[in-house]
Amino acid sequence: MVEGNPILDRLFYALSAPPRRVILAQLLTGEHTVGELAAPLGMSLPAVTKHLKVLEECGLMERRVVGRSHRCRLKAEPLSRAAEWLEHYRMFWEGPFTDQQGYLEALCERVTVESAG
C-alpha cells in the first residue's frame, strides 16, 4: 500500500477548490486585502476567510495585519513540491512512452539535439 504524504495531501486539497485557485491567481499580481480577494468571488467574508485559512495552512499564502486590514501575499515555494511529484508522471502525458526505457531514449535524443543546436 502506498503511504500518503501529508504535505502534498494538504497542498492538493488547497488547490482542489476553484475559489482558492482564483485567490492564488489574484495573489500573483501582489499583496491584496481580504476584501479585494473576496470581491470577484461573490462570497461572504467569512467564507473567503475559510479558504484563506486553507491556503495559509498549506503554506501557499501568508497574512499580515496592518491596522484593521489583513493583507495577504502568495508564497509559491510549496508549489515546487507538487511540481516535483507531478514530474514523475510526465512521461505519461508527453507522448507514446509507456516504459521508462523509451522515455530515457527520447530524453537522451532531445538532449543531444539541443546541445548540438
Pick the CATH number of 6-75 from 1.10.10.1110, 1.10.287.70, 1.10.10.10, 2.60.15.10: 1.10.10.10
Going by pLDDT thresholds of 50, 70 and 90, the confidence category of residue 85 is: confident
pLDDT at 105: 76
pLDDT at 1: 41
CA distance 30 to 20: 16
Give the global pTM.
0.74
Supply the mean pLDDT for the chain: 86
pLDDT at 107: 74
Q: Residue 94 gets which letter from DSSP?
A: S
CA distance 48 to 72: 12
Q: Residue 3 gets which letter from DSSP?
A: P
pLDDT at 95: 64
Between 80 and 91, residue with greater pLDDT? 80
